[in-house]
Amino acid sequence: MTTRRGRLRRYMKANHFFAGGIFVLTLLVFWCSPIHQITDSNYSMMLSQSLLDRQTFALEHYAIPRLPLEYHDHTWKNGHIHQIQVVGEHFYYYMPPGSSVLSLPFVAVMNRLDVSAVNPDGSYNALGEMRIETSLAALLMAALSAIFFLLSRLLLPTKRSLMVALGSAFGTQVWSTASRALWADTWGMLLSGIVIYILLAQETGKLRIKPMLLATLLAWMYFVRPTYAVSILAITIYIALYHRRLLAKYLLVGGLWLLGFVAYSWSHYHSLLPQYFMPKRLRLGTLGTAVAGNLVSPSRGLLLYVPVLLFIIYILIRYREQIVYRKLLILSVSVIVGFLLVVSGFQPWWAGASYGPRYTAPLVPWFVLLAVIGMRAMIQSREQQRAVSSGQSRILERGVGTVLLALSVLINGIGAVSVRAWTWNAIGDIDHDPQKVWNWRHPQALAAILRPPLPRDFPVAPEKIDLSKPESQNFLWYGWSGPEPGFRWTDGKEATMIFAGSAQSDAQLQIKMAPFLVAGRLPSQRLALKLNGKAIGNLNLESNGPAVYRFELPATSLTAKNVLTFQLPDAASPSYFNMSGDERQLGIAVSWIVLQPAKQDRQL
């Protein structure tokens, strides 16, 4: 008995040692990866701060500007701040509140370190929000990576468990999406990983399911994001079929949590559920296209961005006769299929400004479970057929699996480190041109190394191109941010414009612009301007205010299709200088551009 307990202690100690190592390694990588994706989650940490300071979900006591109401997503929003919902005189965070509530302890710790999403004057602190979100997201996904190792060790030897854990951490949306910001699914994926560990540990006899704990975890998955209702439904059926003695307590606790959530919703929104949780957000008219897009489109396809899934599917089919935990296999497949159908019913199904298959990120823990089950079956098959099995087939399987895993790591690593891959969303604005997710000439993952293809048609330049207007987008190729009142920023070290022209006579180019400068740290912006690859001017911009600059364009430089290139080697982000949470690489703010015949002096 003593020997058995000693082995058990050594087993657990070794597991915890490796899990701790995985946590530290992944945390360092997640922390150091430069791309952050704070979009929908803006103001989520302000809600946490409100709960800490004032114990209320309402946000109107902060200095959030009151903008003209805009109706979209079936509710009234505070102007362009789509994260803020307006209900009567109250401001509420529109996205699910679960992540904000669960993040309360971490926000309190960050407050002790003088980091907050709220400035002393009550205004929104985007830089503080970014620091809290990115730190917490990295911690949560590092914890999930450690859970993946412990989950794998229930069925697999240590080396294979390390491979599964690290492959899942770096070869999936864990790295490219969930660790980049506090998306709603960041907390959801961690909770799912814990739930799946509990289910597999029950099946292997390592522990018993505690129905109250399981129901609580599932309830908070729903509070974090309503799409987890698919997992909740499937697991509830699983409990009813195979663990019926636990069902009463499980349903009772889950029902109490749901009643509490309904009470919260009624008191704040005067409806049974918040608007974000309503099923009318689903639209099934484009379901077929959306399913295909979420699986195989070049910029949102799950199978293209996590190609190692193809190997997991292969081993599950190839070694199906050796699969032991078939109940969990059926549960996993049911959740995956159901979840894919639900998220494909969303509008926009392409997940807006994100990297790769963001909407299917919550499925990663289920794919890990399938990988563990499949690899266990593969090991058992090889042990049973050791005498007759082909060494060449093993080498081939191992080689294909390794290549697909390496590709998965490479592709998801691009999403975590490449500025150009992230700004792919802004080229043509994906929400206004969703067909770009099908563009095989410029997939998002390859945007890190490939420029977007030149448009086939070059628009004829009017007398004046106002870059603050949305229609100016027709003249922008790449390297630009969205329009703002009176101007538009370049975003990156290079930006380009296109226009149709003529080589009949010399011309003059006039540009009203202002550089991005930081006193004492970035005193000037260098600008090299080229037309069709030929230099037409170099400037060293040292004045903050906007000014008009003129450049002479000889007729020999103009063609029927012209590309104007702004090279900005000093472009930098405000977040780098701790000015704000803005991570765009700003170079110059351009108000307008005029192209006119040379020596024509007009008042502009």
What domains are defined for the chain?
44-132 (no CATH), 455-597 (2.60.120.260)
Measured CA angle at 94 (ends 90, 95), to 5 deg: 150
Angstrom distance (rounded) from CA 589 to CA 573: 13
Q: Is the pLDDT of residue 525 over 80?
A: yes
List pLDDT tens digits, range 472-515. 988 999 999 988 999 999 999 999 999 997 666 788 899 999 99
Angstrom distance (rounded) from CA 231 to CA 189: 11
Tell me the average pLDDT across 185-204.
97
Beta strand extents in 210-288 (DSSP E only): none
Measured CA angle at 309 (ends 342, 385), to 5 deg: 130
Q: Is the pLDDT of residue 600 over 60?
A: no
- The pLDDT value given to residue 4: 64
Enumerate the β-bridge partners of residue 151: none
Q: Is the pLDDT of residue 415 over 90?
A: yes
DSSP secondary structure string for all residues of 48-60: HHHHHHTS-S--T
Residue with the bigger pLDDT between 322 and 74: it is 322
Residues 6+ apart with CB under 8 A from 281: 73, 74, 346, 347
- The pLDDT value given to residue 5: 67
Question: Long-range pairs for 428-436 at CB < 8 Å and ≥24 separation?
Answer: 428/473, 429/473, 429/482, 430/350, 430/352, 430/353, 431/348, 431/352, 431/353, 434/348, 434/350, 436/299
DSSP secondary structure string for all residues of 18-39: HHHHHHHHHHHHHHH------S
The pair phi, psi for residue 7, each rounded to 5°, is -60, -40
- The pLDDT value given to residue 604: 46
Enumerate the β-bridge partners of residue 90: 87
Rounded CA Rg of the chain: 27
Q: Name the token pair of 214.
A: 């399981």
Q: Is 71 helix (H, G, I), strand (E, B) or coil?
A: strand
The kind and range of the H/E element at 407 are helix 391-417
Q: Which pTM does this prediction carry? A: 0.91
List pLDDT tens digits, range 76-86. 999 989 999 99
Tell me the average pLDDT across 152-177.
97
Angstrom distance (rounded) from CA 55 to CA 58: 9
- The pLDDT value given to residue 3: 67
Q: Is the pLDDT of residue 323 over 60?
A: yes
Percentage of the chain modeled with pLDDT above 90: 79
Task: Write the DSSP symbol of residue 454.
Answer: P
Angstrom distance (rounded) from CA 83 to CA 182: 14
The pair phi, psi for residue 86, each rounded to 5°, is -105, 120
Residues 6+ apart with CB under 8 A from 317: none
Instruction: Kindly give the residue spans of alpha helices, DSSP state H, lying in 57-174.
Output: 98-102, 104-112, 126-153, 158-170, 173
